[in-house]
Amino acid sequence: MGLVVIPDALIEAYTQQMQQTYYASYCMPALISQATLETYLKNGLYTKHAQEVIVSNRSKLNLLQKYTAKWDPHLAQIIGGHSGYYFSIKLGNQVNVQTLINRLQNRNILVKSNLAAYYNLSLYDNSIRMSISIVTAEEFKEAMELLYGEILCLVSKT
Helix ranges, 31-136 (H): 31-42, 45-68, 97-105
- Tens of pLDDT, residue by residue over 142-151, are 999 999 999 9
The answer for residues whose C-beta is within 8 angstroms of residue 83's C-beta and 6 or more apart is 57, 61
Domain 34-156 in CATH 3.40.50.1820: no
**Domain boundary assignment for the chain:** 34-156
**Does an H or E element contain 24, and which?**
helix 11-25
- Tens of pLDDT, residue by residue over 64-114, are 999 999 999 999 999 998 888 899 999 999 999 999 999 999 999 999 999
Instruction: Count CB-CB contacts under 10 A for residue 146.
Output: 15
3-class SS at 85? Answer: coil
